[in-house]
Structure 1
Amino acid sequence: MVDQNVKLSLVDVHRHYKQGEGQLKILQGASLEILSGEIVALVAPSGAGKSTLLHISGLLERADAGKVGICDVATDGLGDRERTLVRRQHVGYIYQFHHLLPEFSATENVMMPQLIAGISDDVARARGDELLGMMGLTERGTHRPAQLSGGEQQRVAIARALANKPGLILADEPTGNLDPETSSTVFDLLANSIRNHDAAGLIATHNYDIAKRADRILTLKDGQLVPFEF
């Protein structure tokens, strides 16, 4: 029986890439469980495999071996369409570069994943306004990304990631382009949102101050996930 409190389960995950005539081994038996309401920080040097791990966790990339479970769904053997549906329903992704659509307003950016999921315009707009309010951006809903500060843009990106009420939030250096004060504010909003939505979070970061505020800190060593030691 699947534990409904487990939002992400990685079991013995392997991933390698071709490098000339050999292989570049990135993940070599990585295993992890993240529970509802839990935030795990992932701290590791560039090139260690943080982004690869996040991509596999979010079904953006396939593992060469191992099992990936997301919100009670065993993803082994799923086809591309099925993986897309699982990702759309259960995963919210936040990037270092917010990737907001420049021609749309903040509210419309938050509406977009909902519209793709088939939610009506009125419901999607109401949800967008609600989430932007949670992010302290009620007055900025009609503004386009170019009219927002870096911190505001990242808060919109967090709201967009939460739009379809996913059980799993994956964030790749979500505060990497922000000053320390703004980073702290954005992380607090992200962490509170994950916990308030009964979701789980895996956050890759180089920022030790941010990492220390997670429930657990892990790193990648020899392709495996192990506790991080300062």
Structure 2
Amino acid sequence: MMTNLFSVFDPSSSISTLSINWMSTLIGLMIIPVSMWLIPSRNFVLWNSVVTTLHKEFKTLIGFKSINKGSTLVFISLFSIIMINNFMGLFPYVFTSTSHLVMTLSIALPLWLTYMLYGWVYNTQHMLAHTVPQGTPPILMPFMVCIETISNLIRPLTLAVRLAANMIAGHLLLTLLGNTGSSLGLILLTMLILTQILLLMLESAVAIIQAYVFAVLSTLYSSEVN
């Protein structure tokens, strides 16, 4: 009786001939975050400080309303995705997805459309009042409404074009300069390599800055609808 009772704990689980006795332990280890069972590396500490700084800044831009709790995570994820894609494009023979409007517009348009739907459904009066800046003379109000409406409608396009244009410009310059290397002498070739290194450093900074600009502008647009 006792043997039959405790025999259910014997390691005998399997799928066909594949033993899965210790699979639950492996699944548990995979689910637990790495930071819980490994000493945090310098990369982890650096990224954690970056995320914390972004969280504080985005929280200040959005506001401290209860409805916005957790909103900073969306914009931190947005920053991370764009920055990683920008950096991936700096490797040779790697497709730069953020240099195409298909990618950038597919990120900017849903964000802007969500803000607009939320604002016009829940804060209609605020959205109407936002079309006329404070202190505008009555005679200029119709023109200001048209200008503010147009500027609001082109926001997703400006977000997408800004990111794509900045990515295209740097990569195009690197490519054009690199194609001239085979026809240069030793001195000019050395100068070209140094120039390429400096441009690559500049593009690395641009990759971070453009991701930050995209995330900050998206945060500001979301704060205007509340």
Same fold (TM over 0.5): no
Q: By percentage of residues, which structure has more strand?
A: 1
Structure-2-length-normalised TM-score: 0.31
Q: Would you tell me which structure has more helix in proportion to its own residues?
A: 2
